Structure 1
């Protein structure tokens, strides 16, 4: 049966009448026939298309543009008739997407944006027909593009903000278009967006009907798809605070599941924008509410994920994503001072809730891994891929702060995570899909921590993560270097220029995300360089990585505003160069420039000129703001440079010729006692000792010229006056050995100076084994040096304990080596562990506190 035979007879008669019309009057007459002959249920899309073609767009267009109407008729009568007709055909995609319909968009927008004028008071049906047409057009991507090109965003926003006729339909259209077009829709239209959101938030906060939850959903859509607004500006507005308090009232009330879900989605987005710290400023008991919120989110995650397949979890994706946001925000908040202000019970409650949620995420990832046979070939645009990436993001956030719990579960899903990361990176390189999730970026902080532990590190190496990270580093560097080439050179006095918080927010937002990604990749590679020396020396990836550092450091040297990135590239290169010195024995021009830049980074970190009296060694102004991120890099860099000097004579010659050792000696001789912290002083001492050992003939003269002999004599006298094994300590060590305990000593530092110290205090009489890192290829906190000590003492690590005063070397190393317990003697009562890996099992005030623990009586140590 042909299409023509399927068309109802009444439709065919009307089509014939319309086609035979000789004038517009004839067409009007035929249209009246249409309304009488044809019933709505007789018209399918094919019939409607026949009728539309028979009417003809030219006729409709004449009606829309006509300004002359019959006497005593309303001025918009022809427009009203035309749009009534057009609205009847809006269910036919072929018609709606046609160029003819898209061409009337300006007329439609003009009518809705003037719907409150006096002329429109008697033509409200005309406005309704316009919205019907616009909604149909907006359903299609081509239609949305045409609407946006004609300024529909601003016109519809004005309709809603000014509460014009049918402004609720304008709002629904804006919600739909925003949800479809995404975050870039409002770029360049920040001010109208702020007006829209403010008005909508006020409507939401003031409504007391069921409509409140519809407005809640709409506000969440706008906040999820809006432009990035400076937080400083938003903090000046009232609506964020009032919205938070409204949501608190909702979530603390008896509400249905759908209502709770809407509130959770909105508060998650609001806190993403404003921050958890901001949320603690409002309400009668903000801490209690925040705990309620995070517990609610964690319970929701567990209920939606536990004993569920991926397909089942996807059914609750919208609310899960909102809960994920709350969980991620609170995990990050746990590392801040604000979390320490919670009492111990509240902190424990939050930790347990988060751990439970993360455990359920691990379970669903493991189940998904098994279901898909340890591969991931699902299209990147599939919701399953998006959900898996979101789950990996939460897991990465958790592991960035907490790696000590659920280790077996983490190791079980680690291969799958790396597989997904690799797949998504391959797709990202193609650049065919915008706004693609980047799970590898989310996992970088976690990889930094996991690389420091034996079991996950072996998995990472087995999965060829170094090659993936190297490729990712090149990808991110290409993005960063292109951006950097377009930036103006920062003036030398940039740190002295006063900037407002708003300007700082804008500047920070404009920095590329690739910068932080590069820094994190460097962090992972640094851990691998320290803990896998054989791999670094033999794997081609690390040789390529060293070449990357040598080649790309120079563009950063003269950039005043990328000091953290400079430090990471410089120090990573030193750690790698230690294992590849044979390639650079002659020092080519690229390697020379690299060392020049590295020395510049280390040299410029401290000076006495910027101190108040020039008698103290202080952190340079350029470094001060970022010193929390630079301090460990600087110490590692000093040690790394010392390690390569002994193998590359040209580096020593360059350092001496640069004048750095001379300046170092002058600064140290000029400052007053106590005007340099102990760790910095030790770093300089060790560096000068290594420099002297590398080329004694050349360096000795430099040191002696700068009062080196005098300084050494004073230093030696003072050092060994106060560094002694006093009576009680010596007695404790002797008593331990009498009780059949074996005792080992592990110390980091240059071999010669450490053995001199050991001999001076007579330590060999009290220890069964002594290890100095300068004699070995490893040092604290690397597990290898602890395992070697256990081997020499003929004892298993899990039957040993570590006692030390440094969290970052003694305690961390003991835990990484799997020792039974760690005892920390803090030198500074205010010092605290910065991560769970550095958390000791026991904290004691002095060595004497060990006596009762090991069964030593007070009489034995007096």
Structure 2
């Protein structure tokens, strides 16, 4: 061993000057013109290449660690790790694998060092090897390399020889134990080494923490950055304690922490890992955001502009700590810095990051902290101007990724403005979400806002008119589509001709994604990266485009001109397909249907518009036959799901409105039809509670919370039930069989009044239809009316029903 140590020491001295040992090789290099750097494998001279070959040969045939270390030290001094070519990397990996660099780190950190080399040298060599090997895509995902992540994070957080401080980095115990076991199994090291690698000093010791040399810090960040570039890389790094370690490195101003550490944190706080990072480490990330916002407010002009994009990454996701006063203070401070920037003269390249940051701040707190009304108007105006300038280019002009990013931010400012502008006329209540900054807009200011929004959305429609189906998978097209839908959900009377002309694109685009024809992965990634979403999906489903369009379809299907265009585009079939897919997904969730999906209710409203206004289309279009089958399957389930009462009311109404258009069947009704009507009758009788008779009838407790949303649907269902009885007389027998008639008559004869006149009118219409179409029902109604004990009950006031059953 003494001899081996001597070899290491001699070779280490030789490489200290970064020159190959032995004058013979140097002389040959000079004589042979080896000084010319013509080698493509890293720019080595011929003499150095010769030494490199000898080192690689020694490495391959090394008999012990001392020989291996000596060869590796020479290699790393001859050629920096990031300049090694792939063949050289492959030969190194074949000789030492990932086992040795991991062992070097563990040995250096644990202090159990018998190699004769200083711990710092072992760390330097280990991190350099890992950095070199991580440049190979096949090696960077190797399990052995991943197990070194906690060690590298420990070095970055605590310095090269300060690994044995109290307070371990925060990471899940399972993952930490797994990392220790994997490293120890692969290196033969002890768990103590890995444990110490993950420990960090208390904040009071930050000043005494040793600084990393730049090369070692760069190597550590190289490995971590390479891992983060993998598909699951951010999760791999995050789960191994990256946030606390990098936060500590930044707090202590460790080497490269602000250049590379913040960039790595920004990567972890983007995309799918953002929510997870903030949920696990809110205090560290909030303190980091406070620091960055303070730096932002104190920065000079150009630095301030550069910091806008960085701040976007470090803002929390929507919904995280919304009530946190410290976070509110940060957002208010950033707005205070942005206001003079927005009012200055800016080039398009300069204003882009400012608008994107403004959009992200709006996502967090809306208009509450933005500032005075005049500035709010300026912000919306500048966003709309950028959109018009960016989208009103001649067809065929490609938008740069930078411009697309800016425009996407502008869209979100416009969407926030729509919500507020459309709510200005609504009376405010203590629970109103309207912020003080926008509620104080003057009438002239609100008109100006609506005017610039209309011009901007006209530009969106112009741009979408040029989109070829081959671009349906482009995330920017989806962002443009989504923003336009937010406008159409509130406003379809403006630009009506342009909207109608755009309907073929809107329906084609939605149908394409429903059928999975777009580039779904890119859109899924975009949805994950958006800091604001109306619905958080675990993955892209293809239904998102239509979900955004549905409110507009609900409005447009009620207007004759747009409705005719929608019918030519076979829109009802698209809506039925959407409901079918949603229902399949809903009932498949653990066998329990309990999650409300408002988009399904909106789709029902649009289909109801078609049903009311286009009876011939309903009778002939096969999609309505499919819809009946769906309703017959779903309503019997929904009747027993109180949380889905609004959806049940929509399904019930839609099915009865379709049923009233069907001709009388010559034979017995189909099983699906009977099942639907039985469920509908059970559902309808649950709305009112007559237990308080002889007083007025009240709305049932289970319906009370949703009554504002379902009362009109319930009344329309009763009227449609009367129409169904007149169209299909067999239903009258079912009404008696299910007990609906008996219970309704009992309630009306005992109570003094119904909730309102409209409810009484709807019940009377259904009862009149039963009396007109079914002699048995007529006799039953007459018997109850003639034997009533009081002439002041609700039933006695139904004059049309009295005429139908011939009771004076």
The TM-score normalised by the length of structure 1 is 0.69
Say if 2:615 is the partner of 1:577. no
Q: Distance in 1 between matches of 2:541 and 2:671?
A: 40
**Aligned residue in 2 for 1:448:** 554
CA deviation vs aligned residue, 1:471-528 (integer Å, no higher than 9, x gap): 222111111111262468xxxxxxxxxxxxxxxxxxxxxx36xx22322221121111
Residue range with higher mean Cα deviation, 122-131 or 37-46: 37-46
Say if 2:342 is the partner of 1:250. no
**Aligned residue in 2 for 1:735:** none
Give me the CA root mean square deviation: 4.2
Shift of 1:529: 0.9
Q: How does 1:658-677 map to 2 (within 5 A)?
A: 658-661=738-741, 663-665=743-745, 667-668=747-748, 676-677=755-756
Say if 2:719 is the partner of 1:639. yes
Say if 2:412 is the partner of 1:325. yes
CA deviation vs aligned residue, 1:528-586 (integer Å, no higher than 9, x gap): 11111111111111111111111211111011111001011111111111223535963
**Aligned residue in 2 for 1:557:** 639
**Aligned residue in 1 for 2:356:** 265
Query: SS at the partner of 1:121?
Result: coil
**Aligned residue in 2 for 1:526:** 608
Q: Distance in 2 between matches of 1:694 and 1:245?
A: 72
CA deviation vs aligned residue, 1:208-230 (integer Å, no higher than 9, x gap): 1155555542342355xx66646
Q: Distance in 2 between matches of 1:713 and 1:35?
A: 102
Q: Distance in 2 between matches of 1:236 and 1:576?
A: 51
Query: SS at the partner of 1:141?
Result: coil
Instruction: Please tell me whether the aligned partners of residues 574 and 641 of structure 1 are also in contact (alpha carbons under 8 angstroms).
Output: yes
Which of 365, 371, 377 is residue 291 of structure 1 equivalent to? Answer: 377
Q: Distance in 1 between matches of 2:392 and 2:787?
A: 68
Query: SS at the partner of 2:450?
Result: helix
Query: SS at the partner of 2:492?
Result: coil
Instruction: Please tell me whether the aligned partners of residues 448 and 523 of structure 1 are also in contact (alpha carbons under 8 angstroms).
Output: yes
Q: How does 1:397-476 map to 2 (within 5 A)?
A: 397-427=486-516, 434-435=539-540, 438-476=544-582
Identify if the C-alpha distance between structure 1 residues 131 and 524 changes in structure 2 by more than 3 Å, giving closer, same or farther.
same
Query: SS at the partner of 1:550?
Result: helix
Q: Distance in 2 between matches of 1:403 and 1:686?
A: 35
Say if 2:449 is the partner of 1:350. yes
**Aligned residue in 1 for 2:325:** 237
Q: How does 1:801-820 map to 2 (within 5 A)?
A: none
**Aligned residue in 1 for 2:219:** 129
Shift of 1:105: 2.4
Say if 2:705 is the partner of 1:625. yes
Identify if the C-alpha distance between structure 1 residues 403 and 702 changes in structure 2 by more than 3 Å, giving closer, same or farther.
same
Residue range with higher mean Cα deviation, 390-399 or 262-271: 262-271
Identify if the C-alpha distance between structure 1 residues 239 and 420 changes in structure 2 by more than 3 Å, giving closer, same or farther.
same
**Aligned residue in 2 for 1:114:** 158
**Aligned residue in 2 for 1:494:** none
Instruction: Please tell me whether the aligned partners of residues 646 and 694 of structure 1 are also in contact (alpha carbons under 8 angstroms).
Output: yes
**Aligned residue in 1 for 2:465:** 366
Q: Distance in 2 between matches of 1:87 and 1:52?
A: 12
Larger relative contact order (CA 8 Å, sep ≥ 6): 2
Say if 2:774 is the partner of 1:695. yes
Shift of 1:364: 0.6
Query: SS at the partner of 2:470?
Result: coil
Identify if the C-alpha distance between structure 1 residues 664 and 188 changes in structure 2 by more than 3 Å, giving closer, same or farther.
farther
Say if 2:763 is the partner of 1:684. yes
Shift of 1:5: 13
Shift of 1:15: 2.2
Instruction: Please tell me whether the aligned partners of residues 662 and 703 of structure 1 are also in contact (alpha carbons under 8 angstroms).
Output: no
Q: Distance in 1 between matches of 2:456 and 2:274?
A: 34
What residue ranges of structure 1 are gaps of 5+ in the alignment? 489-510, 721-748, 754-862
Provide the aligned length of Structure 1 versus Structure 2.
677
Which of 661, 673, 682 is residue 591 of structure 1 equivalent to? Answer: 673
Residue range with higher mean Cα deviation, 559-568 or 681-690: 681-690
Q: Distance in 1 between matches of 2:323 and 2:717?
A: 41
Query: SS at the partner of 1:706?
Result: helix
Q: Distance in 2 between matches of 1:578 and 1:714?
A: 30
Q: Distance in 2 between matches of 1:715 and 1:42?
A: 91
Shift of 1:95: 5.4
Q: How does 1:150-169 map to 2 (within 5 A)?
A: 150-153=240-243, 155-157=245-247, 159-160=249-250, 167-168=257-258, 169=260
**Aligned residue in 1 for 2:149:** 105
Q: Distance in 2 between matches of 1:160 and 1:543?
A: 64
Identify if the C-alpha distance between structure 1 residues 88 and 710 changes in structure 2 by more than 3 Å, giving closer, same or farther.
closer
Q: Distance in 2 between matches of 1:716 and 1:554?
A: 30
Shift of 1:36: 7.2
Which of 125, 132, 137 is residue 81 of structure 1 equivalent to? Answer: 125
Q: Distance in 1 between matches of 2:314 and 2:491?
A: 33
**Aligned residue in 2 for 1:819:** none
Shift of 1:69: 4.5
Q: Distance in 2 between matches of 1:249 and 1:17?
A: 57
Instruction: Please tell me whether the aligned partners of residues 264 and 322 of structure 1 are also in contact (alpha carbons under 8 angstroms).
Output: yes
Q: Distance in 1 between matches of 2:598 and 2:151?
A: 49
Q: Distance in 2 between matches of 1:283 and 1:333?
A: 13
